[in-house]
Amino acid sequence: MSGLEDLYREIILDHYRSPRNRGELASPPAHRVEGFNPLCGDEIVVYIDVDDPAKGDDAVVTDIRIGGQGCSISQSSASMMSAAVKGRNVGEIRDLTRAFKAMMSIHEEGLEGGEAEAPTDVTELKLGDLEALRGVVKFPVRIKCATLSWNTLAQGLDEAAAEV
């Protein structure tokens, strides 16, 4: 098990040291959204380009950039999120968001002794590097660090859709 935890730590550190999709996009046309986690002081700025918000769940996030600063968990999670959603459509991204949050909350419930079950429709999704954040749930105060970028992204997608 410690081998797996070492691997997870390596993945998190790699994204922290070499963040993917770091930077800004011209806004407009990109949508710019800020997220803040007051518990830890993490700030995330998400820029997304959506090809055609009128397409709803079929609209594609053609580009994404991440700004902000904060702890290693918040920044590496944002980097992983950006790599995972770039080029995907809104429907896929919402599924991925649910799967990621399920991974976090399942373990949260597990800590309290409950036998939590993941919703079947999201457990089959491949989370890839995002799996590395599994270990975060051992530190419940850090879960908000890990989910900050996802919540910020969701807000951006909602705003983009609302402008149609």
Task: By CB under 5 A, tell whether 161 contacts Zn ion.
Answer: no
Q: Considering only 25-33, 51-59, 89-97, 137-145, which stretch makes contact with Zn ion by CB under 5 A?
A: 137-145
d(CA 78, CA 67): 9
- Give the 3-state DSSP-derived string for 92-116, with helices as H, strands as E and coil as C: HHHHHHHHHHHHHHHHHHHHCCCCC
> At closest approach, how far in Å is the CB of 136 from Zn ion?
10
Number of residues that bind Zn ion (CB under 5 A): 5
Residue from 32, 40, 95, 105 binding Zn ion (CB under 5 A):
40
Q: Which is nearer to Zn ion, 61 or 82 (CB)?
A: 82
Q: Is the dihedral of CA 31, 41, 106, 22 positive or negative?
A: positive
Task: By CB under 5 A, tell whether 145 contacts Zn ion.
Answer: yes
Q: How long a stretch of residues is the chain?
A: 164
Task: By CB under 5 A, tell whether 42 contacts Zn ion.
Answer: yes
Residue type, 45: V
d(CA 37, CA 5): 25
Q: Considering only 40-48, 58-66, 91-99, 108-116, which stretch makes contact with Zn ion by CB under 5 A?
A: 40-48
